[in-house]
């Protein structure tokens, strides 16, 4: 197998989903008992390296993919990614229900939790395969009916939007819930699940088809015990120019709310919440339309630097107040839109005097939207020590920014 493929990693457990002749699924479990955070991440579909990808994109675009449109994906930090064939609507549901169920089960196994012990599951998804996706996979995995389930649709920021809800009490009430207060000290699963090969299959966007692919990651935590909130903010800056246009296949009125927020909160019942972010949608009935790489830089770097700087300053002030002015952030977990965006963002942050280790770890996934921060965190999990301060930086189309600094296993530090 191609060594750049996620499937070639030593500890990836492979299975085949018995749909459309067989869809490969690989799951890797990651554990760190020292901080009490464990989880699992996965990919599904055939693995395509950068040499194999143009043929797939050409097929998706019905042969209308000239050689000059092939990206230099190596310099963007992507070496391979996973795609499914064209499937029927029902087959797509079957695949993603199975993927989500297997992943929750793997995350439960990693944490040593019984499904009935879990108090909440919060999952970011950009384009859910169905409105009841989260409820279905939770039910299939045995999560109890009265556990809180939260769908977070904020494009690539979804999983970090979910983590912010779990940790940051200052966000206030979400519907009738202040989730951070309610879930303090309880067992929670957080992550992102993105079937982007299905989502982009009919997009005909040459950039999206090369950058996005399938991936998912879920980790378990106990707020206040395995993670302690230090600083964080959730920011919305609507993409008026439509630099990254995304179809909302989830419920949204397509209007800003009375408070000006772009995120609508609906309660399907007392325990099922949906946070749905408004997007600048393509004028044609396509899933996604990108303005190109420079458009992505313009969209995410400028506003992203502001979002990170605000939280970094909040963190610095807290460290001064608590008598630790010399304390530094140990690690940054940053959404992997592509390497050049993160490289430029780091350069601009350095001009503000902001430095922290920001590893590049997902070259075998491509851009997997809301799943990327969850997977990046799991990839770094074994290197994290009790007491480490981790900065999580999510950003996505819309545009949405969730930046959080959390202390790992504070009771053990």
In-domain check, residue 313: yes
**Domain annotation covers residue 1:** no
**CA–CA distance, 254 with 344 (Å, rounded to integer):** 32
Check residue 177 and give its pLDDT.
84
- With respect to residue 68, please indicate whether it lies within any of the assigned structural domains: yes
Whether residue 346 lies inside any domain: the answer is yes
H or E stretch at 157: none
Centre a 10 Å sphere on the Cβ of residue 243 and count the other Cβ atoms it contains.
20
Other beta carbons within 10 angstroms of residue 114's beta carbon come to: 11
Cβ neighbors of 88 (< 8 A, separation 6 or more) are none
pLDDT of the chain along its 413 residues, tens only?
788 999 999 999 999 999 999 999 999 999 999 999 999 999 999 999 999 999 999 999 999 899 999 999 999 999 999 999 999 999 999 999 999 999 999 999 999 999 999 999 999 999 999 999 999 999 999 999 999 999 999 999 999 999 999 999 998 777 778 999 999 999 999 999 999 999 998 888 999 999 999 999 999 999 999 999 999 999 999 998 999 999 999 999 999 877 889 999 998 787 999 999 999 999 888 899 988 778 888 889 999 999 999 999 999 999 999 999 999 999 999 999 999 999 999 999 999 999 999 988 899 999 999 999 999 999 999 999 999 999 999 999 999 999 999 999 996 54
Q: What is the pLDDT of residue 2?
A: 86
In a domain, 251, yes or no: yes
Dihedral angle sign, alpha carbons of residues 26, 112, 389, 305: positive
Tokens of 349: 């942050």
Residue 283 has what pLDDT? 87
Give the pLDDT score at 361.
86
CB-hemisphere CA count at 13 Å for 124?
36
DSSP character string of 270-293 = TTEEEEEE-----SSS-SEEE--H
Does residue 249 belong to any structural domain of this protein? yes
For residue 57, the domain's CATH number is 3.40.47.10
Q: Quick check: helix, strand or coil at residue 393?
A: strand
Give the structural domain span for 373.
6-412
pLDDT of the residue at 285: 84
Nearest 5°: the CA angle 109, 382, 41 is 45
What's the confidence (pLDDT) of residue 274? 96
Token representation of residue 109 = 């196994």
pLDDT for residue 72: 96
Q: Tell whether the torsion through CA atoms of 136, 137, 139 and 140 is positive or negative.
A: positive
**pTM, whole model, 2 decimals?**
0.97
Tell me what pLDDT residue 259 has: 80
CA dihedral 323, 327, 331, 335 (to 10 degrees): 60
Domain count, the chain: 1
């Amino acid at each position: 197998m191609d060594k750049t493929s996620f499937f070639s990693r030593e500890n990836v457990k492979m299975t085949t989903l018995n749909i459309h002749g067989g869809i490969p699924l690989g799951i890797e479990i990651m554990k760190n008992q020292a901080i009490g955070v464990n989880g699992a991440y996965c990919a599904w579909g055939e693995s395509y390296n950068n040499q194999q990808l143009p043929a797939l994109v050409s097929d998706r675009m019905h042969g209308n993919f000239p050689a000059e449109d092939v990206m230099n994906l190596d310099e963007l930090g992507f070496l391979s990614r996973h795609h499914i064939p064209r499937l029927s609507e029902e087959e797509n549901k079957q695949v993603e229900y199975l993927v989500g169920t297997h992943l929750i089960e793997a995350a439960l196994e990693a944490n040593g939790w019984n499904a009935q012990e879990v108090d909440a599951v919060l999952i970011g998804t950009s384009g859910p395969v169905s409105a009841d996706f989260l409820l279905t996979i939770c039910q299939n995995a045995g999560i109890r009916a009265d556990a809180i389930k939260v769908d977070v649709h904020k494009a690539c920021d979804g999983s970090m939007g979910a983590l912010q809800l779990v940790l940051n009490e200052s966000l206030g009430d979400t519907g009738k819930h202040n989730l951070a207060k309610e879930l303090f000290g309880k067992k929670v699963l957080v992550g992102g699940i993105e079937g982007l090969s299905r989502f982009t299959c009919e997009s005909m966007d040459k950039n999206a088809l090369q950058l996005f692919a399938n991936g998912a990651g879920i980790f378990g935590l106990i707020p206040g015990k395995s993670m302690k909130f230090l600083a964080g903010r959730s920011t919305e800056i609507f993409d008026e120019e439509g630099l990254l246009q995304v179809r909302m296949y989830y419920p949204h009125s397509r209007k800003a709310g009375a408070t000006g927020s772009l995120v609508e909160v609906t309660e399907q019942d007392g325990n099922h919440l949906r946070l749905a972010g408004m997007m600048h949608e393509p004028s044609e009935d396509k899933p996604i339309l990108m303005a190109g790489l420079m458009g992505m830089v313009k969209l995410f770097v400028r506003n992203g630097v502001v979002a990170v700087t605000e939280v970094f300053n909040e963190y610095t002030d807290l460290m001064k107040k608590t008598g630790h002015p010399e304390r530094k952030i140990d690690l940054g977990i940053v959404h992997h839109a592509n390497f050049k965006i993160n490289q430029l963002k780091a350069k601009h942050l350095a001009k503000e005097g902001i430095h922290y280790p920001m590893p590049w770890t997902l070259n075998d996934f491509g851009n997997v939207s809301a799943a990327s921060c969850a997977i990046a965190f799991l990839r770094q999990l074994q290197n994290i020590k009790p007491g480490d301060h981790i900065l999580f930086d999510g950003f996505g189309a819309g545009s949405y920014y969730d930046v959080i600094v959390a202390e790992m296993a504070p009771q053990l530090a």
